[in-house]
Amino acid sequence: MDLLQIKGVNKSYGENRVLKDVSLTIREGEIHGLVGENGAGKSTLMNILFGMPVIHSTGGYEGEIFFEENIYNPTSPEDAMLTGIGMVHQEFMLIPGFSITENIKLNRERTSPSILSKIFGKGLEKLDMESMAGDAKKALKKLDMAIDEFLPVAGLPVGHMQFIEIAREIDKGKLKLLILDEPTAVLTEAEAARFLKVIRRLAQEGISILFISHRLDEVKEVTDRITILRDGEVVKTVETKEISLNEIARLMVGRPIDFSKAKE
């Protein structure tokens, strides 16, 4: 069953038309790759799906989007999150001076009554760190991360930070679609392998993944289907097992490429 349907989406920034009649679907529990050169329109499509302010401050977009068969037109990231869409950006959105727990629970902190709150109201309740840490530990466990949830984020390996970002999305409780923007770009080979294993398991649990990456070998390894963008248009959506790396690269750039030589 399709979780997300994008139908005929167009987007322009002034005279620059960056998305041209884009249509694609993402199935429930599917890992769907989105590839294209820089400037192909991937980031704009991602921003539309996550309700980023830059979309609506520049005139919105044309076309229709459906999520679970309901019309979906987010005007803010909060709209997206309430719908069940999470996103992990290429640049980490963590606060170094906060603990892992504080980052995972950021803006969704749990509180408990204090002496002052009983007198002056709920605004003076204290943070319920024990409860928050329990939530954080549960989210981290889903990612097979055995780490002290009270550790500060500053100084942690980059791979750990990537998992903490995903744990935060999981902790929001109703995650149905996770958008990953170049998720392995800063990971070591071992960290990337572990990361791909984790997102496979998330998909098996029913969470759909939109996997945006320039690492075509990883896209080929982990995805079920791939959509290829070129100059703002969908060139092809195909079952991953039915297309080669050379063909993906050719469709991305519009000319033949020997991917084995390009990697050397």
The ranges assigned to domains in the chain are: 2-93+175-262, 95-152
**What pLDDT is recorded for position 258?**
72
**What pLDDT is recorded for position 185?**
87
Q: Cβ neighbours of residue 99 under 8 Å, at least 6 residues apart?
A: 149, 150, 151, 152, 153
**What pLDDT is recorded for position 76?**
94
Residue 31: CB atoms within 10 A of its CB come to 26
Given a cut of 50, the residues of the chain with pLDDT beneath it are 264
Percent above pLDDT 70 for the chain: 91
Distance (Å, whole) CA 258 – CA 224: 23
Angle between helices 158-171 and 189-204 (to 10 degrees): 10
Q: Quote the pTM value.
A: 0.87
Q: Are 6 and 29 in contact (CB under 8 A)?
A: no
- pLDDT digit string (tens) for 78-105? 999 999 999 998 778 899 999 999 999 9
Distance (Å, whole) CA 44 – CA 64: 15
- Provide the residue type at 111 as one letter: T
Topology (CATH) of 2-93+175-262 = Rossmann fold (3.40.50)
Q: Cβ neighbours of residue 137 under 8 Å, at least 6 residues apart?
A: 149
